[in-house]
Amino acid sequence: MEARNSWRFVLLLALVLLLTWLHLPSLPNSKFHSRWYIPKNTFYSSSPTYHHLESETPQHPLDPLTIQEFNRVRTILSSHPLFKSSSSYTLNSVVLEEPDKKLVLKWKKGDPPLPRKASVVAVVKRVSHVLTVDLEIGHVTSHETGLVSGYPMVTERDLYGVGEATLRCPEFNNSLAKRGLNLDDLVCLSLSSGGYEKLEEEENRRLMKVQCFSKEGTVNFYMKPIEGFTALVDIDSKEVLAVSDDGKNIPVANASNTDYRYSIQKLRGEMRLLNPISLEQPKGPSFSVDGHMVKWANWEFHLRPDPRAGIIISQVKVRDPDTSMLRNVMYKGFVSELFVPYMDPTEDWYFRTYIDAGEYGLQSMPLNPLNDCPRNAYYMDGVFASYDGTPYLQPNMICIFESYAGDIAWRHAEATVASLNVSEARPKVTLVVRMAAILENYDYIMDWEFQTDGLIRAKVGLSGILMVKGTTYENMDQVNLKRQETAPGESPRKSYLKAVRKVAKTEKDAQIRLQLYEPYEFHVVNPLKKTKVGNPVGYKLVPGATAGSLLDPEDLPQKRAAFTNNQIWVTPYNKSEQWAGGLLAYQSKGDDTLQVWSNRDRGIENKDIVLWYTIGFHHIPCQEDYPIMPTVSSSFDLKPVNFFERNPILAVPPNFEEDLPASKAHDSA
Amino acid sequence: MEARNSWRFVLLLALVLLLTWLHLPSLPNSKFHSRWYIPKNTFYSSSPTYHHLESETPQHPLDPLTIQEFNRVRTILSSHPLFKSSSSYTLNSVVLEEPDKKLVLKWKKGDPPLPRKASVVAVVKRVSHVLTVDLEIGHVTSHETGLVSGYPMVTERDLYGVGEATLRCPEFNNSLAKRGLNLDDLVCLSLSSGGYEKLEEEENRRLMKVQCFSKEGTVNFYMKPIEGFTALVDIDSKEVLAVSDDGKNIPVANASNTDYRYSIQKLRGEMRLLNPISLEQPKGPSFSVDGHMVKWANWEFHLRPDPRAGIIISQVKVRDPDTSMLRNVMYKGFVSELFVPYMDPTEDWYFRTYIDAGEYGLQSMPLNPLNDCPRNAYYMDGVFASYDGTPYLQPNMICIFESYAGDIAWRHAEATVASLNVSEARPKVTLVVRMAAILENYDYIMDWEFQTDGLIRAKVGLSGILMVKGTTYENMDQVNLKRQETAPGESPRKSYLKAVRKVAKTEKDAQIRLQLYEPYEFHVVNPLKKTKVGNPVGYKLVPGATAGSLLDPEDLPQKRAAFTNNQIWVTPYNKSEQWAGGLLAYQSKGDDTLQVWSNRDRGIENKDIVLWYTIGFHHIPCQEDYPIMPTVSSSFDLKPVNFFERNPILAVPPNFEEDLPASKAHDSA
């Protein structure tokens, strides 16, 4: 019998995007007709550039740590007792410790730099430590441990070390040999164990599960899992604690039609559907990037790569056309956590409840120029610390580009009084900031999109490869998701999601009332600041399509990912409450999460607040997702509501033929 | 006191898009690796072209009536007793009567043309008549009247006639004079009366309400309403039945800052935020338009302008990469109805419950080249009949273009095994078919978007101008929509929507659970046809953000627009059930609507079915919408689910530098 790769499970994917709001400022009283122009480009290239990063110095209090600063952190830590006395430790996270918000808000270009600090999370002798390193005075100024459960993100060394240890394990190798598998063909993935507290092995040690795949005949080894066969490994001691082999020896799928590379497709005959199409800007782009400051049209913000959140956007400001002043919109915005519980309660699958940002970090490979981003894109590199604190470069991690899809920013034609001869329309051009986080098989495309009318869209796209399960054949029909309880002892998971079938048999069966009959709008306003007409200034959150988690609230992964219990949360600003699944999410007990903070029920009225929004996807795979998934997206918007006195893009000109590129679109038609 | 234009009301907008499904065909057994190429362009121009429409003959059974055919309909009708004996009639709708679906499906290019028929809806002596004119045999072959309540769409002559009659009415003019208004400054709009059956005047006569505006100092007269002052007019007799003047004489707002035209903005100082940006295709576009057949990439469909639906898309087919055969996806798709109840129960506003397609038709002015559509667009004209059947041209009514926003069709980079050196991504290019329907102040941008991966997106954008109400000042704060009952006798409307205020005071207040915890997927499958793996082939409906109507179900406009009671409906295919609010929607009693048909509870399993989806917007205006609204959009997707054997765009090549235009993007940077 040949094993079929069919898909019995449902993937629930929930991201929370954290947005910190400022008290929205008032409109200045002075009103004058002023205009502004496209900023001068200080950096721009159509092909990736590598800066002289070694000599880089921070230009802004929120700039990420520089190579020099990473090296200084290493030097300072090497003389700290915690690290001096231990021959084995990992620095799981070394990032900028942001100065206090009020200092950052006060700081202006030209001011003396604010003191620089690094926040370090390390594992030493199986224990998590959180330290602050003051780069000015050259000392560790804060050191905490044992306050909350859990461990930091794993390092690359953790992942590789676990894989190597597994392949050296005789029991593991015997099982492989019994299945007739060749070690050289294998790829073994180190998977977060999910942190099920009832498993005794998980107490006080960092664990990983290992599953292997065959890369024989394809780069798409995800399609060739060695099923029913996992190892449990201690990350720190590299000890293989258990090898689980269900003995079913489900054969590995064959490699045919799994490779997605162009080089392979070309051999089989490529499918050229389209003539080339490109976004062209004959006068160059309309944005500038100066260090980490981005200026475009009426927007200005600080942008930095982050090893956990991917992209952090700060001090987002928009220019008011009435006063030509920049106004604060959002202090900080980033993806706080990402929860991916696979919906399969069996031994080899129940633990797959990834909390990706906190367990692995939203890491990126270099973006593919011309294909991940259009030709008019600018690329920004990331500099991060490896497990021992050595800095390394993540090139082309973020791209920034202007997007024009042919859409309309606003329009009206006057049909009622045709003699007025009115037909006005303005093209919609946006600025996109993008990264693509790769979490093994899955690719998450994260976009922050800015519109000239003041709207900010946060969009998440899913692509990449499904994690398939070798199983006996089962196909799908119309589906109806609902929670499925497991029988006692059946699985460590209390509940899961199962696609069950419901066929609409009559017209009335198909009269389905979506549960959207309690319409709300969610506004963030500053009641102390009003427009001239007297409306409090604000922004509203416009949710997009989303999905809730159907896990049992008592399941430990759900406790950790309790941010998925609501789509919207609001908390008072607290600099330390940043990671919805906890700073130390790995195997945590859920004692340091958004749910825990929010349960304190603190006041939020007339406070500096944090808005949390959860985007969700239920992904029920289908054949079109094989061998690589077409992108599926969801988004939400932050839209100005009585923030401006009127439509802020009323005065922008339309497109004129003479402004567009000289090459005619149809010169070969 | 100066009147302020503030916005007390909420607009609910619901569209229903009707999609007729075919039994999805099986995959042919033969499998061969075949490829196809970009179709030859038979028509293309970067600037609008006017065809030699006079001599046009139909090339496809679904092609719209030609100029010659319209003239023939007029000739045939002129000898019909109904029209011969009446000196006064209006032809409210003259369109193609589609041949039976089975005949259309059988027809192939080169076959003899199917018999051509016209469907005519006329009002003769206050009575609605529905006729079929057979163009072959030159006779009226069907004539129905009195089966259902209601009247057809109004004609331009109706609208102007009502306006003229009002301005001749002494009582109306006296009221205007008392307000000190100059007739030459006025624009009077003929507004559908809403068809409230309790108003005795509405029995057996077509009525309109008239409201006037001052265009003094601006083309944006919508911002200068003459408030508290309407007339009720008999459309057919042109009699002014009532003039309502609340005597409050709220002053007309001044014109400052209301004009949105570029010519005016330029005088005040334009705001040039961006360098030009353009979609360029150095080798020309990848689509062809042959008559009304559109071919692009792996898609093929028939496209025709319609005076009521705007755009009708038919016989949508996608090419299967495994077999290179075209496969049916959708027989017909169009906007069936559009319901716009303003949420204000007062005398001058309660009746504003527009059912826009059925009352006015989704009519378009010519699209604005370079601004409504990008430069690479092709434009299609519409030919329609005026009130006496004379054909007229609606130039540049629909545009077709390829869109590239810089998005990603699919991607994966292999980070787990870096030595594999895999980084594959494909740019996402789509085909957009667009029109912009203008319904007095409001502009609806209707897009049908096709993706190469088999997905179809139907998108509606809202722009244009708010219908404002002159009122004493009231500003807005955080809002919470809910149904508000009117007191008995307070208003002809039983319920409306009121924005009331709710401030979240604590963190728990802000833990808001969106009602999306019953996740469903909505699939249309053909259980008789399976993929090779054995899954029934199908498409799923992926809803976007939407909104439900909060009107009382016993309110007559809500009965007529009962399609808003559900987001999704499925009915068995019935050629005559096309218009969700009834064929004769104007002042109808709601006796011929989707709700009525669906209540018959016919079987839909293993039937040729029709899927209806309602998109909804709650539009609570804000200052940014003034004086012209930035576009707000919503959409839904039709996504292939086990329709293809695998990702259908696996073999498409990535972008290569040498394929893109020669002009570098940063040559002036």
Structure confidence by residue, pLDDT tens digits, B116-172: 999 999 999 999 999 999 999 999 999 999 999 999 999 989 998 998 899 899 999
| pLDDT, tens digit (0-9, with 9 covering 90-100), for A222-273 | 889 898 899 999 999 999 999 999 888 888 888 888 899 999 888 888 888 9
Please give the residue that has the higher pLDDT: either A651 or B65.
B65
B601: pLDDT strictly greater than 50: yes
pLDDT, mean over chain B: 82
Least confident window among B148-152, B479-483, B539-543:
B479-483
| Whole-number Å distance between alpha carbons of B404 and A410 | 20
Question: Residue B663 is nearest to which of A523, A545, A661, comparing CB atoms?
Answer: A661
d(CA A483, CA A78): 51
pLDDT digits (tens, 9 = 90+) for A429-447: 999 999 999 888 889 999 9
Rounded to an integer, the average pLDDT of A115-135 is 97
| Among candidates B375, B514, B601 on the partner chain, residue whose Cβ is nearest the Cβ of A508 | B601
Structural domains of chain A in order of their starting residue, each with its CATH number: 4-66+275-503+516-656 (2.70.98.20), 156-268 (3.10.450.40)
Task: Please give the share of chain A, as a percent, with pLDDT higher than 90.
Answer: 45
CB contacts < 8 A, A to B, total 669
Q: Mean pLDDT check: name the lowest of A288-297, B250-259, B340-349.
A: B340-349
Bridge partner residues of B632 (DSSP): B462
From A188-197, A506-515, A616-625, B419-428, the region with the lowest mean pLDDT: A506-515
Residue A602 has pLDDT above 80, yes or no: yes
What pLDDT is stored for residue A451 in this prediction?
96
Which of A34, A155, A600, A624 best tests the B interface by mutation, with the highest count of B CBs <10 A?
A624
Between residues A351 and B470, the one the model is more confident about: A351
Q: What pLDDT does B198 receive?
A: 57
Contacting residues for A604 by C-beta, under 8 A, at least 6 apart = A570, A571, A572, B504, B505, B506, B507, B509, B510
Q: Percentage of chain B surpassing pLDDT 70?
A: 81
**Three-state secondary structure along A338-355?**
EEEEECCCCCCCCCCEEE
Whether residue A663 and residue B662 make contact (CB cut-off 8 A), yes or no, is: yes
pLDDT for the residue numbered B549:
66
- Of B275, B428, B479, which is closest to A284 when you measure between CB atoms? B275
Average pLDDT of chain A is: 82
List, in sequence order, every residue forming a beta bridge with A618; answer none if it has no partner: A12
**Which residue shows structure tokens 């009659």?**
B165
Residues in chain B within 8 Å Cβ distance of A423: 365-366, 368
pLDDT at residue A350 in the model: 79
Give, in degrees to the nearest 5, the angle at Cα B223 between B219 and B224.
Answer: 90
Give, in order, the Cα–Cα distances in Å from A381 to each of A63, A125, B406. 13, 33, 20
| Tens digits of residue pLDDT in A153-198 | 999 899 989 988 998 999 999 988 888 888 888 889 998 888 776 5
Which residues of chain A have a CB within 8 Å of the CB of B403? 405-406
Q: Cβ contact (<8 Å) for B652 and A221?
A: no
Is a pLDDT exceeding 80 seen at residue A213?
yes
Q: Which residues contact B467 (CB under 8 A, 6 or more apart)?
A: B222, B225, B342, B352, B440, B441, B442
CB distance B8 to B467 below 8 Å: no
Q: Is the pLDDT of residue A668 over 60?
A: no
Output Rg (C-alpha) for chain A, integer angstroms. Answer: 26
pLDDT tier at B237, thresholds 50, 70, 90: very high
pLDDT of residue B530: 86
* Mean pLDDT calculated for residue range A572-601: 91
Q: Does the beta-carbon distance from B412 to A625 stay under 8 Å?
A: no
pLDDT in tens, A456-476: 999 999 888 876 666 554 444
Closest CA to B18 of B438, B597, B641: B597
Which pLDDT does position A168 carry in this prediction? Answer: 92
Which residues of chain B have a CB within 8 Å of the CB of A271? 35-36, 321, 649, 651-652
- Angle value at C-alpha A62, between A56 and A63, nearest 5 degrees: 20
